[in-house]
Structures are given as structure tokens and as C-alpha cells.
Structure 1
Amino acid sequence: MLVNALVEPGKHHHNRSNHLIFVLLKAEKHGLNRIEPEPYTCDCGTTLTPEVLDRGDESKASWPNCKSWSNGGKKKCPECDEYPSIDREQHIRARGYEPTPKSEIKSVTQSQREAALEKTDHTCVTCSSKAEYVKRMVPPRYGGSRDMVNLAPLCNEHYEDYGHMFVDVLYPEGWYQIHHLDWEEYVEALRDKYSSSNERLTEILDSLLEKGQPENPYPYID
């Protein structure tokens, strides 16, 4: 379920000025298949945990403050002294998601697109502008479905000029990738909003807040 769509300003991700963050409740309903995050593996066979990669860090900067490889980081494998080449599946598994093979990914059909646009009366989920495009909130490479629940109508600006990410209220570990949004503050506000109308959800959010946000399980992901 889409709870909100928020803009993250600044050049935090892939040098894009802004990102649109889809805040979801139970991303599995959108097709996401979670697994235990898997460390990267070098071509030489070495398991590249953050601790192992720190040994091959030319700048000797500790996680998580080092640069990612895509931003010029210099993380060598300490065993073979090579910069690791990380493929699509390794990146996805490192995030704790089961990757969908490219051959199995299907495009959103015209009828699915039209149904999604009609659901919001052709209005962008982020602003009041006319929606002309449809975006999968959970990307297909992560298992994101073509079902209505996973389709977000967007205007031209929020489709073309923004990067797109998602976070799940029920999985606070993933919020470390969001730089301007505090999970605990957001969930507290959400609990207060639904405290008088959704007892079950309030209980779930109270339980999560009592446990607190776990440590970042993805310290080597920018």
C-alpha cells in the first residue's frame, strides 16, 4: 500500500538532483521478495564483506563513510588486489532482495496503465498535476508486479526529472538509504494519525517503535 510519495532533495543518489520516495506499507504486496542480504563476491572467489573490503581500501576510510564504487571509491579485493566488478544480481542481493531475471520482466500493458491512471483521475500521486505516465513503485528487477497496487501515476516532471526509490514502513533497515527522512519520527507521526481509526496498524507500529531501528545491514551500499 502506498502511504505517501515524498521528495528527497539534494544530490545523494547517482548525482540526480532529486529523488521521489514511495513510502509503502508491506512492500511484499507489491511483489517484493526479501532475502537475507548477501555480501558481494569477487571474481577470485573472495567474499567481500564490509570488513574484508576495508582491508583493501586505498584511502583507509571506514564504512559507511567511504565513497561507493560508482562515485569513485577505491575498494580493492585484498586477496587478488583487483577492483571488484559487481553485476546486477549481486547489487540486488546485497540489498536483501531476490532479483528477477531480465528475461522474465514484462512491460506494463496499455490496459493496466489506463486503469492505474483512472484510479487517481489522471492526477499525479505526488502533486496535483495531470498524470501522463505510470511507474512501478517496487521496480521489476526487485520483483515489482504490474498489479494496480504497484503502479503509481506520475506527471511528466516527477517521472522524467526524478530518480525513484521506495521504503517500507515495516522494514526500518531500508531507511538508511534515505538521507532526509528519519524512520522513527515518521512512524511515530503515522501511528498518531491512525491511532483512532486502525487499532491493528497502531499495535504493529507501536511494536516496531519499541524494538527501534536496527543497525544498517547494507553498509557498503551508497
Structure 2
Amino acid sequence: MIRIDPSRAIGGYAAVMTLATAWLVLAAVAPATTRFDTIDVQRINVREPDGTLRLAISDHAHIPGLIYGGREYPHPNRPEAGMIFYNDQGDENGGLVFDGGLENGKPTNGGSFTFDRYHQDQTLQLISTEDGQDRRVGLVVNDRPDQPMDIAAGLRARTMKPGPERDALVAKAGLSNARRVWLGRSEDGGVSLVLSDPQGRPRLTLGVGSDGAPSVALRDSTGRVTRTLR
């Protein structure tokens, strides 16, 4: 029969409990960092300690839709992979997306880096697109309405035929846009700086055509050229 010394048993138990407690304390204060050489994933969500989504890095198949007010809506036109940015509330406020390849033997490529207004669409965009011989590269500054977007109404508008009724719904949903600045290369091979009024109508254009000829054009609110300099 084996006899157990009570004092030794208690001492051993205390030693085990001390080691376990020390391990738990060290695990709690140690930085939660894991190093990898390579990670193959389809999507990574970066979240705050409270679970708020701040960044999604994703392939095309798993890229998020539009997230506003805690709800995710299907995106009407997001065929790319990339990164989507979210504000302190978890609402989308910009992103970096890209795609491209060969389409019917023709090279295509696209990249867009954007920043959004609060509960609105992009107000600043760096863009580069290629569709065969057509290439466009530039900087865009947009004005967006002073109201939050109505995403559900906007999705309904996309199913409607172009016309006044659709335009009215788009405006009511806060989805209208006025492009105020374009600086870049257009599909025709020319480069230009186009400054527009609050309604998005071009009023001043400084450009250099594909033939190398510079020009300056001033326009009225109807688009008519009122003055040129060549």
C-alpha cells in the first residue's frame, strides 16, 4: 500500500497551481503576435477590439458589398479585388481596388484609389484604366450631396430605364455627383486640367492635345466656348 505524505501533496499541488497561474498571467500580458513567412487567404478582416470592421483585404469573390449603418448591401459595380476602408463606425469610406488581364485578346487594366465623404460616395479618386488602345489616367475631385445616400433607392434606380424618372430618384436618394476637377490623360491621348462649376459643367480647360498643341478654353454654363487661347 502506497502512503501519501499530506504535506508533500499539498506542496506539490501549490507548486502546480503557482506555475499554472504564472503561465496564464504571462499569456495575458504577452503580445498576441504570430509571424508567418507566407499566408494564402481569400479575405482578411481587420477589426477593432469591439469587433468594428476597419479594413477588408479580399479577392474578387469575397470582397464586401456596400456597408453603411451596420448593414451590407450588394455593390452595383465592384468586379475587382483589393482593400476597402471603413470609418470608426464601420461604414465604408474609401478603398483601393484593381483588376485586369486579357479580354478577347485585348489588354485591360484598372486601378482606383478613393476616399469617400461621410455616408456618401467618393470625393477624391486616383484612377488608371486601360482598354486596348484606350488609356485614361488621372485625378478626380467630386462634389457629393449634403445628405446620406439611400442605398436601397439607388439600387432600385439601377433597374430603371434612363430618363427623368430615374434621374429624379437618383437625386432624391442623394446619389448625384458633380465632377469639379479632372487632371490627367484622356482616351484621345491628350492631357488636360478641367475645372467645373458646382453643377459639374466644365468652365475652364487647360490642355495639350495628342499632337502636342497647347490650348486654353473658357465656357459658359451651356458649354459654349466663349474664349480660347492657342
Fold match (TM-score > 0.5): no
Q: Highest Rg: 1 or 2?
A: 2
Structure number having the greater strand percentage: 2
Q: TM-score range by the shorter chain?
A: under 0.3
Q: TM-score, normalised by structure 1?
A: 0.21
Structure number having the greater helix percentage: 1
Higher relative contact order (CA 8 A, sep 6+): 1
